[in-house]
Amino acid sequence: MNYWLMKVEPSAYSIDDLKRDGTTSWEGVRNYQARNFMRDEMKAGDKVLFYASNADPSGVTGLAEVSREARPEPKDPTWCMVDIRYVDKFAEVVSLETLKKTKGLENMLVTKKGTRLSIQPVTKSEYDIVVKLGKRRTSA
């Protein structure tokens, strides 16, 4: 079982879109490193942190899981896509700022400056911490 973080701009596709659609094909990745993660390491059932970039605030907005392993994109077989399935929408965005200041997440790639990789591996421990943050409701 592997754990991932997948980035997308909410203007392109949001957790609400995924909730509505149930599953979606993750197309359009045009980065070799990200493609190789999908092609070589993503398995059905892997857990996904759904991350909104260029958002207000940017951060993890919910959870998904890999429902179908990588296959070539029909129109552009150099690249490939997986399917992901909606799992949960967080009550509140776990913002990048929160990720940065949470103990145990210091090594997450997304918190590091200049990391543009749109699909990133995360550890189980990092995944669990983010889920805990996302499910926690603020008392305010």
Partner DNA sequence: GCCAACGTTGGC
Catalog residues that contact DNA under the rule CB under 7 A: 7, 9, 30-33, 53-55, 58, 96-97, 110, 113-118
Contact 134, 91 (CB under 8 A): yes
Residue 97 or residue 106: which is nearer to DNA going by CB?
Answer: 97
Dihedral sign of CA atoms 67, 23, 57, 132 in order: negative
Q: How far is CA 23 from the centre of its chain?
A: 14
What is the closest distance, in whole angstroms, from the C-beta atom of residue 67 to DNA in the complex? 23
Residue 55 or residue 68: which is nearer to DNA going by CB?
Answer: 55
Distance between CA atoms of 98 and 133, rounded to whole angstroms?
9
Residue 9 or residue 16: which is nearer to DNA going by CB?
Answer: 9
What is the closest distance, in whole angstroms, from the C-beta atom of residue 52 to DNA in the complex? 8
Size of the chain in residues: 140
